[in-house]
Amino acid sequence: MFPINLLSHFEIQKEQFVIMKIKPDELENFLEKLPLHFRKCYITDEDLINSVNELSLHYSDLLKDYYLPNPGNVMSGEFGEILSYFILNEYYLPILLNGPRKWLWKDDRNQAVQKTDVMLFHKEDSPSKKDLLVSAEIKAKATKNKQYDPVYNAVEGAYDDYLRRLGVSLNWLKAKYVKARNLSEIKDLERFLDPVTYGEYTKHFKAIVVIDTELIEAELVRERELKEFNADFEIIFISINNLKSAYESTYEKILVSGSDIF
């Protein structure tokens, strides 16, 4: 995947948590990069062109009515998931990661895709312990809600991946590739499905919270008991000013400037 240079807009601190905060005066430049790349996570260029031409629909109507979620929890959650997908790719550089854009497979635009939120892979030329699978559970918090603890929920989801869900998600992913007759992806995935044959590989687990800047301090100091991982694990905060406005404007701009092919 070609990085889109999102991390350059953030200041990064690593202490108890990894904290990524938008730099002063960088929000607008950061948000300008998102619409096109987000749109490609819902429909490919080829499918968009074919649908517009064959159905005689304007691409903005097609996207709004059949692909993008309505404003609300699903939109907020998917903004966080897709943003985390791109940021994790850059976070690991120079290690190159690739992974499915699972939002392309949505059956209902207003229902979240189940299974592991983000799965990213690095595969050496031959099977090696350096082969890497990154699994991430993402939660978003854009408005004040004292009862909702995004860190606790993200860690619980990541722990579920650690115990069992990641294996289920990998088999689900293989089924998607089989139905698409994508032989190269099937072969690459077998390495991660069958460590008995190919040898052990490295797994990293992430709990990511995409959060409004005004809410982060309260979540950083909040007392909570979290699951302990016998694995490489990080909690990452991605802090964005006016998060609700940021994700709503991103999806609005997809309808106007989310395509460079027409």
pLDDT tens digits, residue range 150-188? 999 999 999 999 999 999 999 999 999 999 999 999 999
Q: Give the pLDDT score at 146.
A: 87
pLDDT of residue 118: 98
pLDDT, residue 3, reads 65
Percent of the chain exceeding pLDDT 70 equals: 97
Sequential DSSP letters for 173-220? HHHHHHHTT-HHHHHHHHHHH-HHHH---EEEEEEEEEEEGGGHHHHH
Residue range of the domain that includes 147: 8-257
Determine the average pLDDT of the residues in 82-104. Answer: 96
Mean predicted confidence (pLDDT) in 110-117: 92
Confidence at residue 4, expressed as pLDDT on a 0 to 100 scale: 85
**Does residue 181 sit within a domain?**
yes
Q: What is the pLDDT of residues 195-238, one digit of tens each?
A: 999 999 999 999 999 999 999 999 999 999 998 898 999 999 99
Instruction: Please name the amino acid found at residue 231.
Output: A
Residue 262 domain flag: no
What pLDDT is attached to residue 211? 98
Residue type, 230: N
Provide the pLDDT for residue 224.
Answer: 92
pTM for this predicted structure: 0.94
- Cβ contacts of 19-26, under 8 Å, gap ≥ 24: 19/216, 19/220, 19/236, 19/237, 19/239, 20/87, 20/236, 20/237, 20/238, 20/239, 21/213, 21/216, 21/239, 22/213, 22/239, 22/240, 22/241
Tokens of 145: 């809600």
Cα 28 from Cα 40, distance rounded (Å): 20
Predicted confidence (pLDDT) per residue in 34-81, tens digit: 999 999 999 999 999 999 999 988 899 999 999 999 999 999 999 999
Structure tokens belonging to residue 241: 């000013």
**pLDDT score for 79:** 97
Average of per-residue pLDDT values in the chain = 94
Asked if residue 3 is part of any domain, the answer here is no
For position 261, what pLDDT does the model report?
65
Q: Is residue 2 included in any domain, yes or no?
A: no
Q: In one letter, which amino acid is 115?
A: K
Q: 9 vs 21, 82, 199, 219, 251, CA distance in Å?
A: 8, 17, 38, 22, 20
Q: How many domains, the chain?
A: 1
Give strand pairing partners of 83.
none
In a domain, 144, yes or no: yes
Task: Classify residue 1: in a domain, yes or no.
Answer: no
Instruction: Indicate the pLDDT class of residue 108, thresholds 50, 70 and 90.
Output: very high
- Whether residue 249 has pLDDT greater than 80: yes
In a domain, 205, yes or no: yes
Q: Is the pLDDT score of 21 beyond 60?
A: yes
pLDDT surpassing 60 at residue 1: no
